[in-house]
Structure 1
Amino acid sequence: MKVSIEEGKRLTGKVRSVRVRRWAGQEWAEVRRSVRSACVEAGPERDTLVQSLKAAGAAIAAWGVSGWWFQAPMALLAPWTAIAMVGSTVYQSVRTGIQQFAIIALGTVWASAAMAFTQDRTMVAMLLTLPFMMLLGNYRRFGSQGIYGATTALFVITGGVSSTSTVGHRLLETLIGAVIGLLVNAFVLPPVHLRSVRDRLVRLARETTDVLGATAEGLREEDGMKKSDSWHHSAGGLTGSLQNVSEARRWAMEGSRWNPGGRLRRVGPMPPPFAEDMRWGRVCTRVLALTRTLKTISDDTELPSPSLDFLRLLSDVLSQAGHICAIETELLTGSGTGALHERRDAAFREAWSTLGSLTDSFHRQEPSAAAVGGELLLEARQLVTELTSSG
Structure 2
Amino acid sequence: MPAREAVAALLKRGRDPVVTLTLRATVAATISYVIALRISTEAAPLTAPLTALLVVQVTLYSTITTGIRRVNSVVVGVLLAVGFSALVGLTWWSLGLVVLAALVVGQFVRVDEFVNEVAISAMLVLGVSQLAHQAWDRVLETLIGAGVGLLLNFLFAPPVWVGTAGESIEDLARRMRHLLLRVSEELDVPTAVEHAEARLHEARRLDQDVSEVDVALRRAEDSLRLNPRVKEGLLSRVVLRTGLDTLEICVVVLRVLTRSLTDLARRRGEDEPLFAWDVAVVMEQLFAHLGGALVSFAVLVTTQVSRNAEEAEERLAAELSAARASRDNVAQLLLDRVREHPHAWQLHGAVLAEVDRILDELTPEHRSQRLMEELDRAAHTRRERFAVLTRIRDTVRGGPGGPVPRRPAPRAGGLLLRRLQRGVWPRE
TM-score category (smaller protein): 0.7 to 0.9
- Aligned equivalent of 1:13: none
- Aligned equivalent of 1:21: none
Task: Determine if contact 2:125/2:134 at 8 Å carries over to the other structure.
Answer: no
Query: How do residues 147-186 of structure 1 correspond to structure 2 at under 5 angstroms?
Result: 147-157=116-126, 160-186=128-154
Find 2:320's aligned residue among 348, 356, 380.
Answer: 348
- Aligned equivalent of 2:208: 237
Find 2:155's aligned residue among 172, 187, 197.
Answer: 187
Give the superposition deviation at 1:241.
4.9
Distance 1:135 1:314, change over 3 A: farther
Q: Secondary structure of 1:377's partner?
A: helix
Determine what percentage of the aligned residue pairs are the same residue: 18
Task: State the superposition RMSD in angstroms.
Answer: 3.7
Task: Determine if contact 1:116/1:162 at 8 Å carries over to the other structure.
Answer: no
Give the superposition deviation at 1:270.
9.3
Distance 1:105 1:312, change over 3 A: same
Q: 2:55, 2:356 → 1: CA distance?
A: 49
Task: Determine if contact 1:101/1:174 at 8 Å carries over to the other structure.
Answer: yes
Unaligned runs of 5+ in 1: 1-36
Q: 1:170, 1:269 → 2: CA distance?
A: 37
Find 1:382's aligned residue among 357, 361, 371.
Answer: 357
* TM-score, with length taken from structure 2: 0.67
- Aligned equivalent of 1:372: 347
Q: What letter is aligned with 1:287?
A: V
Task: Determine if contact 1:110/1:129 at 8 Å carries over to the other structure.
Answer: yes
- Aligned equivalent of 1:204: 169
Deviations 1:244-291 (A, max 9, x none): 4763574255x23xx4445xxxx8999658356435523431332222
Give the superposition deviation at 1:334.
3.2
Unaligned runs of 5+ in 2: 1-7, 368-413, 415-428
Q: What letter is aligned with 1:161?
A: S
Q: 1:40, 1:378 → 2: CA distance?
A: 46
Q: 1:370, 1:39 → 2: CA distance?
A: 55
- Aligned equivalent of 1:317: 286
Q: 1:57, 1:327 → 2: CA distance?
A: 41
Find 1:80's aligned residue among 50, 56, 77.
Answer: 50
Give the superposition deviation at 1:138.
0.7
Distance 1:184 1:101, change over 3 A: same
Q: 2:150, 2:283 → 1: CA distance?
A: 54
Q: What letter is aligned with 2:151?
A: L
Give the superposition deviation at 1:191.
2.9
Count, aligned residues? 342
Q: Does 1:106 align with 2:55?
A: no
Distance 1:229 1:140, change over 3 A: farther
Q: What letter is aligned with 1:77?
A: T
Give the superposition deviation at 1:104.
0.6
Task: Determine if contact 1:317/1:351 at 8 Å carries over to the other structure.
Answer: yes
Farther off after superposition, 305-314 or 284-293? 305-314
Give the superposition deviation at 1:326.
3.1
Q: 2:359, 2:128 → 1: CA distance?
A: 68
